[in-house]
Amino acid sequence: MIKLAPSILSADFSKLGEEVKSLEKNGIEVVHIDVMDGNFVPNISLGIPVIKSIRKETKMIFDVHLMIENPSRYIEDFVKSGADIITIHYEADKHVDRTINYIKSFGVKAGISLNPGTPVSFIKDLINVVDMVLIMSVNPGFGGQKYIPYSSDKIREVKELADKFNKDLIIEVDGGVNKDTIKEVVEAGANYIVAGSAVFKGGDISGNIKALKEGM
C-alpha cells in the first residue's frame, strides 16, 4: 500500500492547523514533519511545541523526521508531543542501534535516514531492527530541490534487503518528488512518498494531491 506523506515544511505556517486539516480531508493518512536544528542541516524549521499544537487538530500518523545532531537527547519529548514514527539520521548519531531501540521502547515506530552520500550498505545490519528506512533524495535542509537520480538505485537496494530480511519495512523517499518523478520512486520500491512543495504549491492542496496520485 503506497502512502503519500505531505511534508508540512512547505505549508503556510500562519495557518498550519487549517493546512493539516485540509490534508486529512483529501484522504491523507501520514503527515511528514521536518525538524531541523541549524547544525546537522543549514536551516531551522519547527519543533516540539508546534507538533504538540497540530496534534490536537488531527488523527493522522505523525512521521517525524529529525534532522538534528545527537537526537537521543530529545526522543522522549518528541514521543510526548505526539510522534507516531521517529526517524533519525545515520550521520547524526554515533550509536544508531541504541537510539533506534530507545525510540522503539516508547512503543512508537523507529526509522533510519540516509543522506544522499551515505551508502545503503551502512545500514544492512539494521534492516530488521528498524521499522522504516528513509532515503533522502536531496541533501536535507530545504524544500523545493531537484531529485537526485541515483536515489532510485538506493531505493531498489533497500527494497532487495527488505524482501530478504524485513517484509514489513516501510521504505520512504524524501526530496524532489513531484508529478514527474513520483512514478520512478514508486517503481523503485518506495511505499511512503514524501512531497512538500509539490503538495502545497499555489495553495491548491486538493489539485496537487490529485496530480501526484495520478502521476503514480
Interface residues with ligand DX5 (CB under 6 A) are: 7, 9-10, 32, 34, 65, 138, 140-145, 174-177, 194-198
Instruction: Give me the least distance between CB of 144 and ligand DX5, in Å please.
Output: 5
Instruction: Output 116 or 128, the one with its CB closest to ligand DX5.
Output: 116
Instruction: Give me the least distance between CB of 164 and ligand DX5, in Å please.
Output: 28
Q: How big is the chain by its Cα radius of gyration, in Å? A: 16
93 is catalytic: no
Specify the 3-state DSSP secondary structure of 195. strand
Instruction: Give me the least distance between CB of 199 and ligand DX5, in Å please.
Output: 8
| DSSP H or E stretch at residue 100 | helix 96-105
Residues that bind Zn ion (CB under 5 A): 34, 65, 174
163 is catalytic: no
Kindly list the strands in the beta sheet with 61-67, ordered across the sheet, starting from the edge strand earlier in the chain: 3-6, 192-195, 170-174, 132-136, 109-114, 85-89, 61-67, 30-36
Taking the C-alpha atoms of residue 194 and residue 160, their distance in angstroms, rounded to an integer, is 21
- Which one from 125, 174, 180, 204 is the annotated catalytic residue? 174
Instruction: Give me the least distance between CB of 196 and ligand DX5, in Å please.
Output: 3
9 binds, among Zn ion, ligand DX5, none (CB under 5 to 8 A by kind): ligand DX5
Specify the 3-state DSSP secondary structure of 138. coil
Grid coordinates given for 114? 540516509
- Which one from 34, 37, 93, 131 is the annotated catalytic residue? 34
Instruction: Output 124 or 146, the one with its CB closest to ligand DX5.
Output: 146
CB-hemisphere CA count at 13 Å for 140? 34
CA 183 to chain centre: 18
Other CB atoms within 10 A of residue 184 CB: 18
197 binds, among ligand DX5, Zn ion, none (CB under 5 to 8 A by kind): ligand DX5
For ligand DX5, the nearest residue by Cβ is: 196
Instruction: Output 165 or 213, the one with its CB closest to ligand DX5.
Output: 213
Instruction: Output 83 or 177, the one with its CB closest to ligand DX5.
Output: 177
Instruction: Give me the least distance between CB of 7 and Zn ion, in Å please.
Output: 5
Taking the C-alpha atoms of residue 25 and residue 19, their distance in angstroms, rounded to an integer, is 10
- Catalytic residues, by residue number, are 34, 174
